[in-house]
């Protein structure tokens, strides 16, 4: 780690006026290893963060610039967080790395998560604009790919739903303890998962006092889950996954049904406990206890609970995380810490905000 008092890494947040951008700033403002050197926005370009998010008014931060006005070489960033919408991202990162090849990037969008160009084109409806970077990108599930992340230039931060289900299941698939064809993920997200831009279906009156599924049978996070579960199982996995929108601000809660166990439910619990014993951000609850989204809100933690499902060879796993923290910006800072050689937990040790 560089001497924090003297050498601070210059970081930029592209898309600072969005929800994950604001969450990045919340975490980076007091991070001892970095200097916030550049912030960008689109509609809010030219404004100060305090005008976009008043919670930042006590802090001195750079003005929000339009991305097109940035000279990447002059910006001299050690690392850029890219918190932009899907598809815009690949063009921006391609231009950034062409002018400043030494800058490291943590991308929060889905643009570089799929390794297979054909799978990308199938799920996103167009060819990738930077296929050479797609090949280079390392999937940024910190606990699973830590050693590759440390030496990566471009890290594709995983999705919020996918982080939640992958951390719960990858050790079990690797251990061949569950049947990969019998996984059912019933997932719920808070509304900040959809970003800050105004959308009719996200109005209070459309979302409050109710609860619904969306993207049924076609949500793009399925592609990412299939990719990572196939890697872990060593053969193709096609998962059942349905997301739901619940009227709360932050949180992902996944109820996961697993069958065809090669061990007892307690045996699965032991595998998870052993896999994550040394992990600062993965907390496996005592057998039979279940997580709550309110107990991880604003923290970089995922809580995982596991219980019997009445008959042999079946179990139920519940996992909860904050979509903006462990599901996005917290994991992005964790990845930055790995890439820049800081202690992995630096700036990320907040306890959840409850009550
Ligand atoms: N929200 C989550 O829980 C979550 C979790 C994991 C991953 N992600 C991913 O992270 C990325 C950011 O998500 P978010 O929720 O923070 O979205 P958001 O709230 O909608 O913010 C998007 C940001 O991108 C800027 N922007 C929009 N269009 C642009 C363009 N054409 N050129 C340059 N900048 C542009 C916006 O600027 P203005 O506001 O000034 O227009 C804003 O700063 C997305 O790819 C999303 O899928 C989100």
Question: Does the beta carbon of 21 lie inside 6 Å of ligand 1?
Answer: yes
Question: In a mutational test of the pocket of ligand 1, which residue from 13, 15, 53 has the highest number of ligand atoms less than 8 Å from its CB?
Answer: 15
- CA distances in angstroms from 56 to 250, 283, 312, listed in the order given: 19, 31, 53
Supply the mean pLDDT for the chain.
96
pLDDT of residue 6: 58
Contact 81, 11 (CB under 8 A): yes
Q: How far is the CA of 287 from the centre of ligand 1 (A)?
A: 38
**Which residues on adjacent β-strands are paired with residue 253?**
188, 320
Contact 247, 191 (CB under 8 A): yes
Question: Does the beta carbon of 159 lie inside 6 Å of ligand 1?
Answer: yes
Low-confidence ranges of the chain (pLDDT < 70): 1-6
SS3 content of the chain, % helix, strand, coil (to 5): 35, 20, 45
Protein residue with least CA distance to atom 3, ligand 1: 193
pLDDT of residue 80: 98
Structure tokens at 135: 């090949």
Protein residue with least CA distance to atom 22, ligand 1: 18
Structural domains of the chain, ranges and CATH numbers in brackets:
9-158+327-340 (3.40.50.720), 161-323 (3.30.360.10)
Active site residues: 160
pLDDT of residue 7: 82
Which is nearest to 323 in space by CA: 172, 187, 143, 123? 187
Q: For strand 240-245 and strand 252-259, is the pairing parallel, antiparallel, or unpaired? A: unpaired
Q: Which residue's structure tokens are 């009719």? A: 200
Q: For residue 21, which atom of ligand 1 is closest to its CA?
A: 16
Q: How big is the CA angle at 216 (ends 88 and 129), to the nearest 5 degrees?
A: 20
């Amino acid at each position: 780690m560089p001497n924090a008092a003297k050498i601070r890494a210059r970081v930029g947040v592209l898309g600072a006026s969005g929800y994950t951008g604001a969450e990045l700033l919340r975490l980076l403002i007091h991070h001892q290893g970095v200097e916030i050197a550049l912030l960008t926005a689109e509609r809010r370009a030219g404004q100060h963060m305090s005008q976009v998010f008043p919670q930042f008014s006590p802090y001195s931060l750079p003005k929000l610039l339009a991305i097109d006005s940035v000279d990447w070489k002059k910006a001299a960033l050690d690392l850029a967080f890219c918190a932009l919408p899907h598809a815009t991202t690949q063009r921006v990162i391609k231009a950034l790395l062409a002018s400043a090849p030494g800058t490291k990037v943590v991308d929060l969008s889905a643009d570089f998560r799929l390794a297979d160009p054909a799978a990308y084109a199938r799920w996103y409806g167009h060819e990738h604009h930077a296929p050479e970077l797609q090949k280079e990108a390392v999937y940024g599930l910190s606990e699973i790919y830590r050693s590759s992340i440390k030496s990566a230039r471009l890290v594709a931060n995983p999705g919020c739903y996918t982080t939640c289900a992958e951390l719960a299941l990858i050790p079990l698939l690797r251990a061949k303890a569950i049947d990969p064809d019998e996984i059912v993920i019933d997932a719920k997200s808070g509304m900040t998962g959809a970003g800050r831009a105004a959308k009719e279906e996200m109005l209070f009156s459309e979302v409050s006092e109710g609860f619904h599924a969306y993207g049924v049978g076609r949500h793009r996070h399925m592609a990412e889950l299939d990719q990572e579960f196939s890697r872990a199982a060593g053969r193709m996995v096609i998962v059942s996954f349905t997301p739901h929108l619940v009227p709360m601000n932050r949180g992902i809660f996944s109820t996961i049904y697993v069958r065809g166990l090669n061990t007892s439910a307690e045996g699965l619990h032991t595998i998870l406990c052993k896999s994550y014993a040394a992990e600062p951000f993965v907390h496996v609850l005592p057998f039979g206890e279940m997580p709550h989204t309110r107990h991880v809100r604003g923290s970089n933690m995922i809580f995982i609970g596991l219980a019997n499902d009445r008959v042999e060879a079946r179990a139920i796993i519940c996992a909860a995380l904050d979509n903006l923290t462990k599901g996005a910006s917290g994991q992005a800072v964790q990845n930055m810490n790995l890439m820049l050689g800081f202690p992995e937990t630096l700036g990320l040790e907040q306890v959840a905000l409850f009550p």
